[in-house]
Each structure stands twice: as structure tokens, then as C-alpha cells.
């Protein structure tokens, strides 16, 4: 048998990783200490060529299937972990064949839901996680992806301006169809509800859930959140011919939810008294695309909304409402955003993503101003935030030393 690595970005130095050793026994200097969710397979984080990869030991056919599926999801621009390689033909030094490995890029600043629960929490964490998962599920379904194993543990969460953005991490059971029937969508949603209820009950048994949160009731939130978003994104709306403003209004509503309308079907009834509209193709990322176009910053949707609002205030405050938007955005980027990010001491930069720090800083300035009864200048808010808020936060780029005894099912590799 020969060791073989299949990858869209082949890197021969990948052969240097200890593939002849069962993943469970990999030496610490190949590993990165990061929080990991619960799983059936052995999953470990490997450090290689300055990057961190998640390695999952799994049968070769399943590894290839999941690799292909993740590639397709990436091409469809859906939020999922990025596949890197499939490693097959592994043989231990004593001649025993070893299972294949699926290698994915570690999603930086991502958190398994259990790691979130090991930190001090805001009371509505469960419902914010479920909101994020509902958005992910709707996006997957719009693209015809049936997940089959929707759960909090098969999802990774990144902070998104006080909310969360969800990414699919486990595509093993997924199927891609041209489109999904209501029955298929309902099936996934039921799987989600049951799995989430179980996961929240586990947290409750461990004493991690807030007292007033009922696991079953909270899990059911996913159904309502999913359905209302699905209806808004796909529903037919009918109105009188005189009410054409409602076309614009629908588009604005979708934009506010973070979606762009790529195709909208319009028709009138036979006597021409009413118009019927239905979005046919919608694209997530309304605000993040706009921010990317204006500034080159690639951030999550709510973070983008927040930064765009700040850009708008900057434009108003500097009296440049009539100026070219690109020019103002460039000035905001170089005079406000970048100096702020640069002001974060290097040793604190691993706490949160830059855009999340910026968001928190704006909140912080708001509270300072409210307390003082007048506007707080940004540099003053930055200094106070760096001195009083940031140091107390856990390092989320690479959480070290998560207390695994308190969180028995959360695995952390320590080096
Ligand atoms: N690319 C990645 N970036 C960050 N974390 C990851 C990545 N891949 C896997 N993980 C972590 O490893 C955990 C297990 O991964 P995964 O769900 O794919 O394993 P599994 O054994 O197939 O799970 P299951 O028990 O659901 O079959 C995830 O919950 C996540 O915490
Ligand atoms: Mg899993």
C-alpha cells in the first residue's frame, strides 16, 4: 500500500505529518490546543506549515465523499469548513493498515457550542445559537443540500457583532439535490429539533444551561425561526396593481435580513388587477458584499452591517454626504478602522477577530458616552477598552486551557 494524499492544493510537506501513527497517538508537537466538539471519530487539530488543520480519522470512502461534498458546498459559497486533503493508504510501523484521514482547514475564531458554554454567558446564548443555525439551514436548503445530521455539535459558531454566524462542520450524511421537497426540509428540521433538545439536555445535566431555559421548548425555536425566514425568502406575495411600491418594499425587507434578490418573478392575474411576486434566487451576504466592495474587508454579515453604519456616521460627521462613496469608505478605512485595529496590542489580538473587536469597541464607546453624558472620543474609548475589557476575555483564536474536567465531553489537545 502506498500513502497517498489527494488535495486541490497539493503540498508535499504534508507527507511530513506522522501518518503512520494512529491519530489518537499523535505527538503533542504536531498538535494545536483548540476546543473541539463531541464526535464519534477521532478528530485532532494538527499544526502544519504555520496553519492549523482539523484531521478526522475515518474510512477512506467516507473521507472522499465528505471531501467532495465540502468542496461542492464551498463552490456554492455556503458557510462550511474548507476541505484540504484526503490521506489514504496509511500503514502503521508494525504493518497494520490505518483508516484514512480527512483534513480540513481549521476555521479560525470558530467555537464549538460547548466551548461557548464553558465561558460566562449572556442569558440568551441558546436562542442566539439557534438563530444562527436556522439561517445556515435555510441557506443550505435553498441550495438543495439536505444535511441529515443537523445539530449544534455539527456546527461551528463564529462571533458576529454580538450574534453568531454558523458554519457546517460535518457533511458526512449530506445529500445534494436540485431542490428539496417540503418533506425533505421538514425531515431535516425535525432532526435539528430533536438533536438540539438532546444537546441542551446534556448541558442542563452538566449544570451549564441557564436555569430558566427549557431544553425542549428552546429547541423548538429552530422550527419557528427557520419557517419565518424560509417564508420571507421564498413566499408568494399578492397585491393590487396600484401598490407597486410593495415590490421595492419586499426587496428592502430581504436586504434587511441580509439577502440580495438575484431573481424575482412577477406576474399579474388575467384581469390585471393584482400583481404576484416571488423571489426565485436570493443570495446571502447583502451587507458583507457591500463592505467588501467598498473597503476590501471580508467579515461576517452583522459585523459588516455594523461597520457600514459606522461608515455612514463618519460620512455624516465629516459632512461628506455628497461625496463619492468609495472615496469616503477609503478614508474611513485608513483614518478610523485601521488605526483602531492597529491600536490593539499584539498580545491581545488573538482574543477576538478584528471586526468583532471594532464592534465591541463601538458598544463600549456608547456606554462610556452614556455614563459621561457626552460623546467619548474614539481614542479614549480604545484606551479604556484595551485596559479594562479585552484582557479579561479568553483567547478565541486558539483557546488554551479550557477546563476539560468541568466540561467532560469537550476535548482539548494540550501541548
Ligand atoms: N475544520 C474544522 N475547524 C474547526 N473545528 C473542527 C473542524 N473539523 C472538525 N472540527 C471539530 O471536531 C468536531 C468533530 O468533527 P465531526 O463532526 O466532523 O466528527 P464526526 O466524528 O464525524 O462527528 P459525528 O459524531 O457527528 O459523526 C467538530 O464538532 C468540531 O468541533
Ligand atoms: Mg459530527
Domains of the chain as residue ranges with CATH: 4-107 (3.30.200), 111-234 (1.10.510.10), 237-284 (no CATH), 287-392 (no CATH)
pLDDT for the residue 328: 96
**Structure confidence at residue 321 as a pLDDT band (50, 70, 90):** confident
- CA-CA distances (angstroms) from residue 258 to 67, 135, 230, 290, 351? 29, 10, 13, 11, 26
Mean pLDDT of the chain: 91
Ligand 1 near 7 CB (within 6 A): no
* Pair type for strands 274-284 and 259-268: antiparallel
Q: Tell me: the pLDDT tens digits for 152-196?
A: 999 999 999 999 999 999 999 999 999 999 999 999 999 999 999
Q: Tell me: the pLDDT tens digits for 295-313?
A: 999 999 999 999 999 999 9
**Structure confidence at residue 9 as a pLDDT band (50, 70, 90):** confident
**Least confident piece of the model among 17-31, 126-140, 387-401:** 387-401
Ligand 1 near 118 CB (within 6 A): no
Map grid coordinates 427557520 to a residue: 226
396 vs 127, residue with greater confidence: 127
**Structure confidence at residue 119 as a pLDDT band (50, 70, 90):** low
Among all ligands shown, which has an atom nearest to the Cα of 102?
1
pLDDT for the residue 32: 80
Residue 302, burial from CB neighbour count under 10 angstroms (0-12, 13-18, 19+): buried
Number of Cα atoms under 13 Å in the Cβ half of residue 347: 3
Ligand 1 near 399 CB (within 6 A): no
pLDDT for the residue 270: 85
114 sits in the region (left: phi over 0; alpha: psi -120 to 50; else beta) called alpha
Instruction: Please give the distance, rounded to the nearest whole angstrom, from the Cα atom of residue 35 to the centre of ligand 1.
Output: 11
Cα 156 from chain centroid? 6
**Structure confidence at residue 269 as a pLDDT band (50, 70, 90):** confident
Q: Where are the alpha helices (DSSP H) in 271-377?
A: 286-295, 301-317, 325-332, 338-342, 354-372
DSSP-based three-state secondary structure for 165? strand
Average pLDDT over residues 100-113: 93
pLDDT for the residue 121: 61
Q: Tell me: the pLDDT tens digits for 361-399?
A: 999 999 999 999 999 999 999 999 999 999 998 888 764
- Pocket probe mutation, ligand 1, options 23, 31, 34, 37, max atoms within 8 Å of Cβ: 37
Average pLDDT over residues 347-369: 95
Number of Cα atoms under 13 Å in the Cβ half of residue 28: 5
pLDDT for the residue 399: 47
CB-CB contact of 213 with 200 (8 Å): yes
CB-CB contact of 42 with 56 (8 Å): yes
- CA-CA distances (angstroms) from residue 147 to 26, 39, 176, 186? 31, 16, 9, 12
Question: Which residue's CA is the nearest one to ligand 1's atom 9?
Answer: 54
pLDDT for the residue 400: 35
CB-CB contact of 166 with 136 (8 Å): yes
Question: Which residue's CA is the nearest one to ligand 1's atom 7?
Answer: 54
Ligand 1 near 66 CB (within 6 A): no
- Return phi, psi of residue 239, to 5°: -155, 165
Give the integer Cα–Cα distance in Å for 65 and 59.
10
Give the integer Cα–Cα distance in Å for 15 and 19.
8
Short-list 69, 87, 86, CA closest to 78:
69
**Structure confidence at residue 39 as a pLDDT band (50, 70, 90):** confident
- Return phi, psi of residue 410, to 5°: -90, 120
Give 279's DSSP letter.
E
Q: Tell me: the pLDDT tens digits for 328-345?
A: 999 999 999 999 999 999
CB-CB contact of 106 with 125 (8 Å): no
Short-list 342, 335, 303, CA closest to 320:
335
CB-CB contact of 80 with 156 (8 Å): no
Amino acid at each position: 500500500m502506498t500513502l497517498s494524499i489527494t488535495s486541490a492544493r497539493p503540498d508535499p510537506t504534508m507527507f511530513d505529518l506522522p501518518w503512520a501513527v494512529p491519530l489518537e497517538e499523535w505527538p503533542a508537537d504536531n498538535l494545536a490546543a483548540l476546543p473541539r466538539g463531541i464526535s464519534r471519530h477521532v478528530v485532532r487539530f494538527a499544526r502544519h506549515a504555520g496553519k492549523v488543520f482539523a484531521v478526522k480519522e475515518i474510512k477512506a470512502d467516507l473521507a472522499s465523499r465528505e471531501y467532495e461534498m465540502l468542496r461542492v458546498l464551498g463552490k456554492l459559497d455556503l458557510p462550511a469548513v474548507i476541505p484540504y486533503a484526503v490521506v489514504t493508504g496509511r500503514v502503521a510501523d508494525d504493518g497494520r493498515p490505518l483508516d484514512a484521514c480527512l483534513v480540513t482547514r481549521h476555521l479560525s475564531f470558530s467555537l464549538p457550542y460547548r466551548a461557548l458554554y464553558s465561558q460566562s454567558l449572556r442569558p440568551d446564548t441558546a436562542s442566539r445559537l439557534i438563530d444562527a443555525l436556522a439561517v445556515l439551514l435555510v441557506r443550505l436548503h435553498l441550495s438543495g443540500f439536505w444535511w441529515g445530521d443537523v445539530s449544534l455539535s455539527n456546527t461551528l459558531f463564529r462571533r458576529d457583532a454580538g450574534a453568531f454566524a454558523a458554519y457546517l462542520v460535518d457533511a458526512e450524511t449530506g445529500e445534494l439535490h436540485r431542490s428539496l421537497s417540503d418533506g425533505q426540509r421538514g425531515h431535516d428540521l425535525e432532526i435539528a429539533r430533536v438533536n438540539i433538545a438532546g444537546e441542551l439536555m446534556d448541558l442542563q445535566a452538566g449544570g451549564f444551561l441557564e436555569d430558566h431555559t427549557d431544553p425542549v421548548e428552546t429547541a423548538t425555536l429552530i422550527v419557528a425561526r427557520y419557517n419565518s425566514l424560509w417564508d420571507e425568502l421564498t413566499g408568494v406575495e399578492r397585491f393590487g396593481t396600484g401598490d407597486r411600491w410593495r415590490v421595492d418594499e419586499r426587496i428592502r425587507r430581504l436586504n434587511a435580513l441580509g439577502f440580495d434578490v438575484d431573481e424575482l418573478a412577477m406576474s399579474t392575474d388575467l384581469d390585471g388587477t393584482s400583481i404576484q411576486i416571488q423571489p426565485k434566487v436570493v443570495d446571502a451576504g447583502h451587507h458583507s458584499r457591500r463592505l467588501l466592495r467598498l473597503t476590501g474587508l471580508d467579515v461576517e454579515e452583522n459585523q459588516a452591517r455594523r461597520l457600514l453604519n459606522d461608515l455612514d456616521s463618519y460620512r455624516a460627521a465629516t459632512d461628506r454626504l455628497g461625496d463619492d462613496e468609495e472615496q469616503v469608505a477609503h478614508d474611513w478605512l485608513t483614518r478610523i478602522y485601521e488605526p483602531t485595529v492597529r491600536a490593539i496590542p499584539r498580545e491581545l489580538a488573538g482574543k477576538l477577530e478584528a471586526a468583532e473587536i471594532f464592534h465591541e469597541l463601538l458598544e463600549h464607546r456608547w456606554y462610556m458616552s452614556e455614563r459621561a453624558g457626552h460623546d467619548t472620543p474614539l481614542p479614549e474609548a480604545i484606551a479604556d477598552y484595551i485596559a479594562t475589557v479585552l484582557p479579561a476575555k479568553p483567547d478565541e483564536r486558539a483557546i488554551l486551557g479550557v477546563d476539560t474536567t468541568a466540561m467532560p465531553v469537550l476535548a482539548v489537545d494540550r501541548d
